[in-house]
Every structure is written in structure tokens, then in C-alpha cells.
Chains A and B, each alone.
Chain A
Amino acid sequence: MEQNEADVQCAKFERTIEAGIEPLIEVMEQLEAFCSTAGVPEPVTVQLNLVLEELATNAIKYGYGAGEQGQIGVCLTLNDGRASLTVTDDGNEFDPTVAPSPDIHSKLEERAIGGLGILLVMRMMDSVCYQRRDGTNVVAVSKTFAPLR
């Protein structure tokens, strides 16, 4: 019984996928199932999945040259009401924390779509840290929540 509770309080999800939309969607489904089993509230699960999608699609779209293969790493740890998600990619250097913010007050005609994904990441998480490490982009985000019992 005590062992089970410890499992729920500290759990880890780790995957490496090919940089492509289909593998990404698959890993998002797995992440959702993992979070649900581990007692993460649904709104937080949705946010974590969204953050993963935004960071990974950015890498897939802009990180690699035509025909270039890439790999994306996903690691989520849950520890006593704190979710720490790290998304890594071996594509071109890109620091989302210094990317320009889109103008969200402009009129429809002038409204541009770029940058909204990063804005969602920055606003939904408690912290977002970026590191370029050995030719890899490492984005680590965290979010605290009240675990479901």
C-alpha cells in the first residue's frame, strides 16, 4: 500500500521519437494515458500535452533541413504535485524563451499566426528553461498541481 502511494507520487515517462507529426501524436496519446493513471488532473494533462505539441511541432517544422531525419526526446516526471517535462530535439538552435511575442491585440486583418504556440507554452507553465547542450535544444518546463487522490 505504501509502495503504491510512492509510485503515484513519483513517476516517470520517457520516450524518444522520430521528428514527425504521426509519432508525435502517438506519444501524446501515451502521455495522456500515463498522466491519467498517475492521477494528474485533466486540465494539467491537456496543458502538458499542448506544451509537448507546440515545442515538438516547432522543431519538426523549423529545426531540420528537407529530408533530414531528427529525433525528439520526451521526459515527464511527476513528483508530489509537480510535473517536470523536458523536450529535446537535435535540430537547429532555437531558444523559445527569447522568441518575440506575437501582438495579440491586433485586428483580424493584421493578425499573424506565428509565435502563438510559444506564447501558450510560456503562459501555461510555471517555468520554462532553455539550454543548448551538445548540439541539442533542451526545453524544461514545470507545473505544480493538486494531485487527484
Chain B
Amino acid sequence: MLDITCETRGEVLVAHLSGRIDAAASRAFEEQALAWVDAGTRNLVMDLSSISYISSAGLRVFLLIAKKLKEAEGSVKLCALTPAVNDVFEISGFSRLFSIYPTLDHVI
């Protein structure tokens, strides 16, 4: 189960993700992420402080959104990775692929 709440801070869309990004949740997450880009979002910040679990299905969506925003000359930043998420990002090399900040305050 994944909940997504959004807020706009100037030019930046801040998405607070909460729950689990597993094979089931990734479908809705992908739709939502693509909708952000389609709606013109170019600067995206994702707050992952309440994500307890992510699998490769979730990684796929992060990669997809990063590619889309790069094409559109936008950016995606991530913050507040929990140990479980950090583990997966380290092993998969995603830690080097993304701009990652300790807290939301560090990004904005």
C-alpha cells in the first residue's frame, strides 16, 4: 500500500510517499509519476521518509521518471531515505544515479 501526497513549493512539486513500493503499488506510482510530467512538472522532489520497503518494481519507476525529467531538462531529487530503501539504492547503484539529501529541508 502506497500513499502519495503532493504540495507545490514555488516551481517545485514535493511528493510525500508513504508505505510500500512493491510490485502492486508500482503500477499506480508509475501512472502518477507520468501524470506529473505530462502536467508540466519539471522539478520534482520525493520525500521517502515514510517508505518502509522498495523492490526492483519500484526502482523501475524511479528510473523511468528520472529519464523522462532529464529529457525534459528537469530534475528529480530524493530525500530522507530509510535504511531499507537506502540498502536497495546502494546495491542497485541508484545512490550514484540520483541526487539524494538527508532531509527535505536540505533540498528546499
A residues engaging B (CB < 8 A)?
21-22, 24-25, 28, 43, 46-47, 49-50, 53-54, 57, 104-105, 108-109, 111, 113, 116-117, 119-120, 123-124
Contact = CB atoms under 8 A, between A and B. Distances in A.
A111 B57 CA distance: 15
Interface of B: 22-24, 52-53, 55-57, 59-60, 63, 66-67, 70, 83-84, 87-88, 91-93, 96-97
B56 A113 contact: yes
B70 to A, nearest CB: 6
Contacts of B66: 108
Contacts of B88: 50, 120
A43 B53 CA distance: 10
Contact of B56 (A28, A43, A120): A120
Contact of A25 (B22, B52, B67, B93): B22
Contact of B91 (A21, A108, A111, A120): A120
Contact of B84 (A46, A111, A123): A46
B93 A105 contact: yes
Contacts of A108: 63, 66-67, 70, 97
Contacts of A105: 93, 96
Nearest to A116: B56
A43 to B, nearest CB: 7
B92 A116 contact: yes
Contacts of B23: 21, 24-25, 53, 57
Given A108-B67, A109-B67, A116-B56, A124 B84 contact: no
A12 to B, nearest CB: 24
6 A-B pairs with the lowest CB-CB distances in the bound complex, closest first: A104-B93, A117-B56, A116-B56, A113-B60, A123-B91, A53-B55
Given A104-B92, A120-B92, A111 B83 contact: no
B29 to A, nearest CB: 14
19 contacts: A21-B23, A21-B24, A24-B23, A25-B23, A28-B22, A46-B84, A47-B87, A50-B88, A53-B55, A54-B55, A57-B23, A57-B55, A105-B93, A108-B67, A108-B70, A111-B63, A113-B56, A116-B59, A117-B55
